[in-house]
């Protein structure tokens, strides 16, 4: 009883922090979304109006932009899974020293700012950039490949590059926790390498996969800078629109409604995605056992 009281005691500051840092701003956004703007005095009026919400549901641009963010985030998460999984599993087989070196190599790009990475990619992918220069030098193309920069391809390549470390780290940690004797037992019982992977390694790394997918999805879907600076004319994002609405347009109610809609949709997709993964091959049960 005393222990429980102590635990509850410690939970109070955390709960306060969550309340002030997360719940309160969201509650404010919800309240603002029912306001109207008086452009004569540049103030928000508590009108309890559903005008902003009705715009969100009836204007196809909002639906399109939110849908685009979901597809972009999910696409990046899937790509990161396919690229990151083999890297993470390979890292578990390295000697301890090399594991350290590999993790530093993996994390180094994150120490540079996003803008630096974006401009570095421009140097690599541009019309006069490294890849086009090499292709032209070998005579493989006559003209620079324009789609390498300012296209959805570029956006997703860089979103993948920026977010891959989060996926690899999550899977790697999960894979490191697997009891190697389980894999040996499977092999001893006659499982082929593919069977051992599908029936032992994959289910046991699913929690890491879910965490990685959740993280990459959220980061990619919410990224404004990469699509804006590398997506060319296809770089519109709901975040940029929210920024415009809060800024020059001074339409805080509509911006609040859009921000909340985006948050709800992204959360619904992210949780759905992670739930499906956790249900794969009874991984949830394994995960629960692991937590006990």
Partner 1 sequence: MMAGSGITRREVLAGIAAGTAAGMFGSLSSARAAISEMVWATWDSNGHPEYIAAFEARTGVKVKLSYLSSEDAQFAALKTGTASDWDMINPSLNGSWRYIKAGLLEEIDMGKIPNAAKMYDVFKTTPKVLDASGKHFAVPYLWGLNPIVYRKDRFESEPDYTTLFNEKYKGQLAMRDYALESIGIAGLVAGIPRDKVFLMETKELAEAKKLLIAQKPLLRTYWQTIGDLTNLFATGEVSCAFSWRVPYDALKDKLSMGMAKPKAGIMGWCDCFAMPATLSPEKTEIGYKFIDYLLGADFATQIAKIGNYATTSSIIRDSLSKEQQEAIFVDDMDVMKSFMWPVAPANYSEWLKVWNEVKAS
Minimum CB separation from partner 1 for residue 69, in Å? 12
CB contact set of 202 (below 8 Å; sequence gap of 6+)? 280, 281
Q: How far apart are the C-alpha atoms of 220 and 242, rounded to whole Å? A: 17
Minimum CB separation from partner 1 for residue 145, in Å? 12
Name the residue nearer to partner 1 (CB basis): 21 or 248: 248
Name the residue nearer to partner 1 (CB basis): 249 or 285: 249
Both tokens assigned to 266: 């992204």
Minimum CB separation from partner 1 for residue 267, in Å? 23
Both tokens assigned to 21: 């840092």
Beta bridge partners of 44: 37
3-state secondary structure at position 46: coil
Minimum CB separation from partner 1 for residue 142, in Å? 15
Name the residue nearer to partner 1 (CB basis): 180 or 248: 248
Q: In the structure, how many helices (H) and strands (E) does the chain have?
A: 15, 2
Neighbours of 26 (CB within 10 A): 13
Both tokens assigned to 268: 């619904």
Residues in touch with partner 1 (CB under 8 A): 39-43, 59, 61, 64-65, 68, 119, 122-123, 126-129, 146, 149-150, 228-229, 232-233, 235-236, 240-241, 244-251, 254
Name the residue nearer to partner 1 (CB basis): 44 or 89: 44
Minimum CB separation from partner 1 for residue 51, in Å? 11
Task: Quote the Cα angle for 290-75-172, to 5°.
Answer: 30
Place of tokens 């009705």: 54
Name the residue nearer to partner 1 (CB basis): 125 or 220: 125
């Amino acid at each position: 009883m005393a222990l429980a009281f102590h635990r509850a005691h410690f939970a109070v500051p955390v709960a306060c922090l969550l309340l002030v840092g997360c719940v309160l701003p969201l509650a404010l956004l919800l309240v603002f979304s029912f306001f109207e703007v008086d452009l004569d005095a540049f103030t928000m009026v508590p009108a309890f109006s559903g005008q902003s919400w009705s715009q969100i549901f009836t204007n196809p641009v909002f639906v399109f932009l939110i849908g685009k963010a979901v597809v972009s985030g999910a696409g990046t998460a899937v790509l990161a899974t396919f690229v990151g999984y083999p890297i993470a599993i390979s890292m578990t087989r390295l000697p301890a020293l090399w594991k350290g070196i590999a993790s530093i190599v993996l994390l180094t790009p994150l120490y540079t700012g996003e803008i630096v990475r974006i401009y570095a990619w421009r140097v690599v992918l541009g019309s006069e950039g490294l890849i086009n220069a090499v292709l032209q030098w070998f005579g493989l193309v006559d003209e620079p490949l324009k789609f390498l920069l300012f296209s959805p391809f570029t956006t997703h390549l860089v979103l993948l590059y920026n977010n891959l470390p989060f996926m690899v780290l999550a899977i790697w940690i999960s894979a490191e926790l697997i009891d190697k004797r389980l894999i040996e037992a499977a092999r001893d019982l006659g499982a082929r390498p593919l069977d051992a992977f599908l029936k032992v390694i994959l289910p046991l790394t699913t929690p890491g996969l879910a965490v990685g997918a959740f993280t990459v999805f959220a980061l990619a879907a919410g990224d404004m800078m990469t699509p804006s600076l590398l997506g060319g004319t296809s770089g519109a994002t709901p975040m940029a629109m929210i920024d415009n609405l809060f800024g020059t347009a001074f339409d805080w109610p509509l911006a609040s409604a859009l921000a909340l809609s985006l948050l709800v949709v992204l959360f619904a997709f992210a949780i759905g995605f992670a739930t499906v993964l956790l249900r794969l091959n009874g991984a949830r049960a394994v995960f629960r056992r692991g937590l006990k």
